[in-house]
A and B are shown apart, each in its own frame.
Chain A
Amino acid sequence: MATGLVERPAAPPIGPPGGPPRRALSVGTLILLGTLAVWLLGRVVFANRFTLPLAQADLSPLHTNLNGFNDWVDANRNTNPLFLYFFNEIRQVVDATGTFFTHLISKTDVGLGIPQIGWLGTLILLTWVAFWLANGKMAVLTAVVFFFIGLQGLWPDAMDTLALVISAVLFALLVGIPLGIWAGTSDRFNKIVTPILDFMQILPSFAYLAPLALVFLIGPAAAIICTIIFAAPPAIRITAHGIRQVPATTREAVDSLGVGRGQRLRGVLLPMAKRTIVIGINQTIMAALSMVTIASLIGAPGLGLTVNQALQTLDVGTAFNGGLAIVLIAITLDRVSTAASLRAEIAARAGGHSRNVRWIVIGVGFVITVVAVLLSRTYLWAAQFPRATLPDVGTPISDAATSASDWLTTNLAGFTSGLKNGFTSAILNPFESLLTGTPFFIRGLVLVVLGAHPPPPPPPAGVVACLAIMVYLGVWQDAMSTLAATIVATIVVTMLGIVFGVWMGRSKTTDRILRPILDAGQTMPAFVYLVPFLALFGATRFTAIIAAVVYAAPASIKIIADGISQVSTNTVEAATSAGSTSWQLITKVQLPMSAKALALAVNQGLIYVLSMVVIGALVGAGGLGYDVVAGLSQRDLFGKGLAAGLTLVVMGIILDRITQAAARRSLGDSISPMIARKQQTPLG
């Protein structure tokens, strides 16, 4: 065709300026291909030898030693000065705080176990707080959600969870905001604390459980401390970021007026960082809620425990009911704290009139709250949620979920199990066998090559050290099985990220529709993702992988979408005017120019997936997650669980390093995904 003849020469090679030269690329590809060949050869030649297998109940000498250490800690908990004067003190303070809030809104140990403030008082109090911090709409949302949870029959559980979240957030902010201010004002402290925070951010939440259970005993205190450690980093990071983003011109201008250090902090830096700090508080709350539910494995009561027990018994109905309550609480806490951050701005600008009206409502609300609290301390109907007299929605919900699950398993079995079995036998099993069946040293070699491939340093010594530690920790096989699931899920996540990210980045309408859904997805605690997929696919590795994909996809999609939409419109216009087709535009201009975002998306996808794949142990994923869970429930497996937790840490580091190295390779210069990651905290 004539047009074809005209078009072909008309499309010029439009690529990113200064891309890597062709020759270097082919050398890199050669090395990768060579590595792959060695790997496959190793798999065939050594077929299942040197793979460091260890059966589920078997222990390595190290694990036995760790068990011994656990016994030693138990025996010396009340005599060793480190425990007596440090760990035990912390545990007592945290425990007292947790108990205080639990007694206040959930249950006491005496008589009927009625809390200090009964359900009516708590409900009105929460509503009033939501109005005070945010606005009327949020107050209504809070009231409706918590009343609904009462109708679900989950009021006491929800209050347990809330009490733990409040305690943990309190401590996390008490520690996090001052540290954040310090990091925001002192360059030296910032330099020390940033790598630590980066490190904490790549750790899967499961990795925290065993060590903390060891030091602080299984129970609510350990659960709260675990949550504090998990939830404080966003507070520190975002507070520091808020203070650092105050423009240099403003700092200079107030310096020229002669402000003192204190005046500058109180009068300029903190007010200007206020909105950002409130966003940090929002992130802390969401991280805390996510962790509190997982911490049910080390003795946190509440909704997490309900869901966890239901998952263990494959009771989809109860798990769904509990999961729904967690989701509702997550949405409420997120909406209220986000609205509170906007409030700060509105309050500063509102004229006197609307402010006065607001304060009158707050005053009246306070009186109503006091009355409700008094009522709930006087009458039983206001103290315990009257499940007998109000309609029960919990049972219908869980029945409906159960029958839906049954229906799906019966009628969609052909599809779901086909999908599951096809995926498992065609992709997962061969890949896993490749990973677990290859001698450990060849796997190690592959990882070293991947991690150190770009010729300039960093030297592979770090990766080698990490691998040595992994071998030493003795759960190599389980680690490889987790790694296989993680890699497969990450590949799927990245493909989803590219497809939807490109779609969103190119179409404003798609972005408008998808973004709120993705945002909502990101606020959900990791735990609840397991429920629907358990209903669909039963308790298998596949369920965990699908849950991980769904959990990690929003982050990946959003990062790529932002990368695509940030490609300069001038460049796109120029490429279009040169006659590029849409496909050429995407593959030759938009994707190459968002290489940085792509690299970050892979890195983030991996971290999210790893975190979730491990949690998937609760629905039969096996691997390291299973070791951790088993270690927490069976005393003689504790050492192995601890080793598995440490292996998770090491694996997180290796995967993070390798994806960063890949990012460097694709970009040709050093980037730190950590910088772009700042505001995105994996919540799982």
Chain B
Amino acid sequence: MTATGTVGIGSRTGTQTETPDFSVRNLWKVFGHKADRIPTDPAMQSLTGPQILEKTGCVPAVRDMNFDVARGEVFVVMGLSGSGKSTLVRCLTRLIEPTAGQVLLEGQDIMKASGSALRDIRRKKISMVFQHFGLLPHRSVIDNVSYGLQIRGTGKTERYRRAQEVIELVGLHGYDRRFPDQLSGGMQQRVGLARALANDPDVLLFDEPFSALDPLIRRDMQAEVIRLHKDMGKTMIFITHDLSEALKLGDRILIMRHGELVQIGSGDELVGAPVDDYVADFVSEVPRADVLTLKWIARPAVVGETGPTGAVLPAGTVIRDAIPLVLGSADPVGVTDNGSLIGVVGRDEILRIIGESHVVKQSVEMSPNEMQNVEQRVGN
């Protein structure tokens, strides 16, 4: 099932650095009686999650997970409900104690951290934003935001100054004395975001933070996260079940099913080269022209096709953006990668990709339902 096998094989986007910020090695979380036997049991290797459940009564929510997250990267974990993604993100700071494996933060194994060391990591290095906010109803906005600073012993003046800063940052100016139940859902999540930012952590974890918000607010908040990431450049691990959100935010996306890693890659890699039918089904609804770049459809140039006058586009251009130029040009357009010509794109290629999106969509009409049926059986 783990067709990508080794870590980050799909990662050709260049965001990966020599020393990853965050590494997960052979991470397991199994729920159930005598769960700790499952990861080491060779008999379980070949079984799927639902089969293990049937045989042992245990649910492998996270199964032999491996990935690296580079500093400053936005790493998205996505899967349907019950795929184990929320369990995975909780394992990263041991809100749920993993069954086996390693979680390395800058080379330090969080799994081995003592109680106080772990608290220290949670206070300073990693903050989390939750789907249902988790605000303290008896505290005002500013006291909620500064709560993390308070528990690590920051003085009142200092923590209010810092809290005020992040309140401005997330656009809650003037709401600092309100109480959570006086705010809308979107604003409450801004408080949750501000609370996470107030600690000035190295890594931000988001557990489906916008799923409980309505679509317009969700779009605003996504834009907010993109803006914050541009400004602060923090490493982010973002859990979602919404593919468009994943494509919008993620530098790379990890697709999970039954607790297992199915594919890691950038958005265009998932759409352009899905490793199996599952991923293909998943991305089938995506308008390919919006995600794929010219690199994916360029063909070798026939002699004489691009003269000195011919137009040229970089390989990273999204196809949709290239449509006016290509369709408007009599000759195919050249595609360059780092200055060297790697191929050409003509009208045929463009039209085919638009038509293909349509065809794929129809051919997999039934599959998503089947997928979901299987997912529901796994439970979480």
Contacts and interface: CB of A to CB of B under 8 A. Distances in A.
Interface string A572-596: 0000000000000000000000000
Interface in B152-185: 152, 179
A257 B122 contact: yes
B138 A250 contact: no
Contacts of B273: none
Interface string B11-55: 000000000000000000000000000000000000000000000
Interface range on chain A (Cβ under 8 Å from partner): 20 to 34
Contacts of B263: none
Contact of B134 (A252, A263, A267, A271): A252
Interface string B125-164: 0111011111111110000000110111000000000000
A260 B151 contact: yes
Nearest to A260: B119
A258 interface: yes
A272 B137 contact: yes
Given A257-B199, A349-B179, A249 B95 contact: no
Contacts of B139: 271
Give the size range of B's interface with the partner: 20 to 34
Main secondary structure of the interface of A (DSSP, over half): helix
Given A250-B135, A272-B137, A257 B130 contact: no
B234 interface: no
A58 interface: no
Nearest to B195: A257
Interface string A240-282: 0000000101101111111110010001100110100000000
A348 interface: yes
Most buried by A among B121, B138, B152: B138
Contacts of B134: 247, 249-250, 252-254
B320 interface: no
Given A250-B135, A271-B138, A348-B138, A256 B93 contact: yes
A246 to B, nearest CB: 10
Nearest to A271: B138
Given A258-B123, A348-B138, A253 B151 contact: no
A446 to B, nearest CB: 43
Contacts of B121: 258
A271 B192 CA distance: 19
B220 interface: no
Contacts of B128: 253, 256
B290 interface: no
Given A249-B133, A252-B95, A252-B130, A258 B152 contact: yes
A249 B130 contact: yes
Contacts of A252: 90, 95, 130, 134
Nearest to B177: A351
A261 to B, nearest CB: 9
A257 B127 contact: yes
**Which of A255, A258, A271, A349 gathers most chain B CB within 10 Å?**
A258
A263 to B, nearest CB: 5
A377 B121 CA distance: 62
For the residues of B in contact with A, the DSSP-based class is mixed
A86 B126 CA distance: 53
A253 B127 contact: no
Contacts of B120: 258
A272 B118 CA distance: 25
A257 B138 contact: no
Contacts of B126: 256
B122 A255 contact: yes
Nearest to B124: A258
Contacts of B152: 258
Nearest to A256: B128
Interface in B314-342: none
Given A249-B130, A249-B132, A349-B179, A258 B151 contact: yes
A257 B136 CA distance: 13
A274 B138 CA distance: 10
A257 B151 contact: yes
Contacts of A274: 138
Contact of B151 (A247, A267, A272, A349): A267
B138 A254 contact: no
B179 A257 contact: no
Contacts of A263: 151
A271 B138 CA distance: 7
Contacts of A255: 95, 122
26 contacts: A249-B130, A249-B134, A252-B95, A252-B130, A252-B134, A253-B130, A253-B134, A253-B135, A256-B122, A256-B127, A257-B151, A257-B195, A257-B199, A258-B120, A258-B122, A258-B124, A258-B148, A258-B151, A258-B152, A259-B151, A267-B151, A271-B136, A271-B139, A272-B137, A272-B138, A274-B138
The 5 nearest A-B residue pairs measured at CB: A253-B134, A258-B122, A258-B123, A258-B119, A256-B128
Interface of A: 247, 249-250, 252-260, 263, 267-268, 271-272, 274, 348-349
Given A249-B132, A254-B134, A258-B122, 18 more contacts: A247-B132, A249-B133, A250-B134, A252-B134, A253-B130, A255-B95, A255-B122, A256-B122, A256-B126, A257-B199, A258-B118, A258-B124, A260-B119, A267-B147, A267-B150, A267-B151, A271-B139, A274-B138
